Structure 1
Amino acid sequence: MNIYIRSMIAGFVATVVLSLLMLMKGMMGLMPELDVISMLGKMAHDMMGMGGAGLAWLIHFMIGTVLWGILFALLYEKLPGGGAVTKGMSFGALAWLLMMILPMPMAGAGLFGMNLGMMAPVMTLVLHLIFGAVLGFVFRALSPSAVHA
C-alpha cells in the first residue's frame, strides 16, 4: 500500500478517535467553551461566508486525514521516538503546537487558547497526544512489514 494512502487511513482513524473523545467531552459538560467544531464553523463563516456544523466537521476530518496524515508520512523518519506510536505522539505534540499558535488565536481563543482558561492547552495537548498515538499505531499496523510479520 502506498505510504500516503496508509498515512491518510491512519489520519482518518485517529481523527475518528479524536472526534469521539471531543463528543464525549461535550456530553460530560467538560469545558463547553472549548468547542473546536464551533470554532471551525465560525472561522469558515468569517473566511468564506459560509459555515455550519457540517462544514466544520468536514474541515476537521480533512485536516486530520489529509493534512496531518500526509505530513506524518513526510516527517516520519525525522520525528523523535523509537517506534511508530512514540513518533506519532511527537507528531501530535507538533500538531498541537501549530494549532495553539495559528488557528486558536484566529478563532478568538488567544495564543495557546488561554482566553478559554488554563485547562484549554492542557486538554488539547492530551487529545493531540492520543491522536498521535492512534495515528502511529494504525500507520505501523498498515505497514507491509506488519502485515507479513
Structure 2
Amino acid sequence: MFVLKGMMGIVPEMDIINMLSDMMGTSAAMGWVAHFVIGTVVWGGIFALANGVIPGGSQTGKGVVLGIVAWLMMMVVVMPMAGGGFFGSNFGMIGFAMPLVLHLIFGAVLGFVAAYLSEGEPKTA
C-alpha cells in the first residue's frame, strides 16, 4: 500500500518508512524492516495473544478493532515522535484519515488471515 501511495504521489511528505528510519538513525531499508516487524511480529503477536478479549463478532472484526488500536498508537506515539504532530496534525486531514484507512485494511486482512489459518475458511462479519 505504501508503494502505491508513493507512486500516486499522495502526501509524499508523510513517508512512514523514512520517518521510522530517521527516528532510528538508519537507512530506509531498515525502516522497511522495522515497519514489517511492527506489523507482523508485534501486532500479529498481540492479536494472537489477546484474541480472546478483543471485541468483535468475527476474526475479521477483531482484526479491524486491533487496526484501530494500532492506528491510535501511531497517532499518539509514533507520529509526534516523527515530527508529524499529534494525530498527524502537521499533514492536515489526510494525515489523520489516510493512516486510519490503511490500518483498517491492515486489521481486516490480519483477522481474515488468522481466521483462514485457524479454521480453514474465514467467516466474514
1:29: which partner in 2? Answer: 9
* Cα shift at 1:146: 2.3
1:6: which partner in 2? Answer: none
Cα deviation digits, residues 12-43 of structure 1 (max 9, x gap): xxxxxxxxx11101100111111000101110
Question: TM-score, normalised to structure 1's length?
Answer: 0.79
Count how many residue pairs are aligned between Structure 1 and Structure 2.
121
Question: TM-score, normalised to structure 2's length?
Answer: 0.93
Aligned to 2:86, which of 79, 97, 111?
A: 111
Aligned to 1:93, which of 38, 59, 68?
A: 68
Aligned to 2:38, which of 63, 79, 84?
A: 63
CA distance in 1, matches of 2:111, 2:66: 9
* Cα shift at 1:117: 1.4
Greater relative contact order, per chain length (Cα 8 Å cut-off, separation 6+): 1
CA distance in 1, matches of 2:102, 2:38: 15
CA distance in 1, matches of 2:91, 2:19: 12
* Cα shift at 1:75: 1.5
CA distance in 2, matches of 1:146, 1:26: 35
1:146: which partner in 2? Answer: 120
CA distance in 1, matches of 2:120, 2:22: 42
* CA RMSD, Structure 1 to Structure 2 (Å): 1.0
The percentage of counterpart residues that share the same residue type is 53
CA distance in 1, matches of 2:98, 2:29: 24
SS of the residue corresponding to residue 32 of structure 1 reads coil
SS of the residue corresponding to residue 52 of structure 2 reads helix
Structure 2 regions of 5+ residues with no counterpart? none
CA distance in 1, matches of 2:96, 2:50: 24
Structure 1 regions of 5+ residues with no counterpart? 1-20, 46-50
Name segments (4+ residues, structure 1) moved above 6 Å. none
